[in-house]
């Protein structure tokens, strides 16, 4: 069983779902904004936990009190190296639970931009050999230092922190490998307040959609390779 924490209706599993089901896993979805005590217990005890993205910041816990629930359950999972994978906000929550401090960076990376492995990433069992030659999809403005004891694996021109590992089975990535080109209009519609195309690091709406057509298939291939490797790594 793979337990997935969602933070927004439009931010789902994307391409992860077919990989999970193809590998024979059942999926248990916890919707954080309306989760019950039983939901949090399942997430805490999950064999594999995947924490997805969301528009809120880790530091907005007064507005989104469910973030405290997640931080509380992530700390013990990290300590025992329980299989845990975070995407964007999910990676930030893992970092915060591990002692790092997530904060607004004053920069943005929203749209299709490059990604590369660090020196440590090039020898990491999950990242080594992944095809990172094409732009990937990003949607973030917050950042953090690699938690103590962690290994920084991925970086981009705007954000030195794009992915890390804690222990052997806890990983976080800032970019969104799971997104499909078909989902992009939903993302744009959900974030209409953004200054698309008017500030550095934020693509125009039409650029996001056009690049989705250009690079979406490559991102899907990367996503499938990444999550398939992760499942093998933790098995």
Q: Is 140 a catalytic residue?
A: no
How many Cβ atoms sit within 10 Å of the Cβ of residue 198? 8
3-state DSSP assignment of residue 210: helix
Which of 7, 108, 138, 176 does the annotation list as catalytic? Answer: 176
CA–CA dist 90, 10 (Å, integer): 15
Can you name the residues that pair with 30 across neighbouring β-strands? 5
176 noted as active-site residue: yes
Q: Are 13 and 183 in contact (CB under 8 A)?
A: no
Burial code (b: 16+ CB inside 10 Å, e: under 16) for 32-52 equals beebeeebbebbbebebbbbb
Distance CA 108, CA 93 (A): 19
Catalytic residue among 88, 96, 138, 183: 88
178 a catalytic residue: yes
H helix runs in 80-182, sequence order:
89-97
CB 63 within 8 A of CB 55: no
Question: Among 11, 70, 178, 183, which one carries the catalytic annotation?
Answer: 178
Asked if residues 203 and 211 have their Cβ atoms less than 8 Å apart, the reply is yes
Catalytic sites, residue numbers: 88, 176, 178
């Amino acid at each position: 069983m793979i337990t997935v924490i969602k933070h927004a209706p439009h931010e789902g599993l994307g391409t992860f779902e077919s990989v999970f089901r193809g590998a024979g896993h059942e999926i248990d979805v916890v919707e954080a904004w309306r989760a019950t005590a039983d939901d949090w217990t399942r997430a805490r005890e999950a064999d594999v936990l995947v924490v997805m993205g969301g528009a809120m910041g880790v530091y907005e816990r007064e507005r989104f009190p469910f973030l405290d629930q997640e931080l509380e359950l992530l700390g013990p999972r990290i300590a025992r190296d329980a299989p845990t994978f975070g995407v964007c906000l999910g990676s930030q929550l893992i970092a915060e639970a591990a002692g790092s401090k997530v904060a607004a960076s004053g920069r943005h990376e929203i749209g299709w931009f490059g990604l590369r492995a660090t020196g440590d990433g090039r020898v990491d069992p999950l990242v080594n050999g992944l095809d990172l030659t094409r732009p990937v999809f990003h949607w973030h403005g917050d950042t953090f230092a690699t938690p103590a004891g962690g290994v920084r694996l991925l970086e981009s021109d705007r954000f030195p922190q794009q992915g890390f590992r804690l222990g052997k089975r806890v990983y976080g990535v800032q970019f969104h490998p799971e997104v499909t080109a078909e989902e992009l209009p939903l993302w744009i519609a959900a974030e209409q307040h953004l200054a698309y195309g008017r500030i550095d690091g934020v693509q125009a709406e039409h650029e996001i959609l056009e690049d989705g057509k250009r690079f979406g298939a490559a991102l899907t291939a990367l996503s499938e390779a990444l999550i398939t490797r992760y499942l093998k790594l933790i098995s």
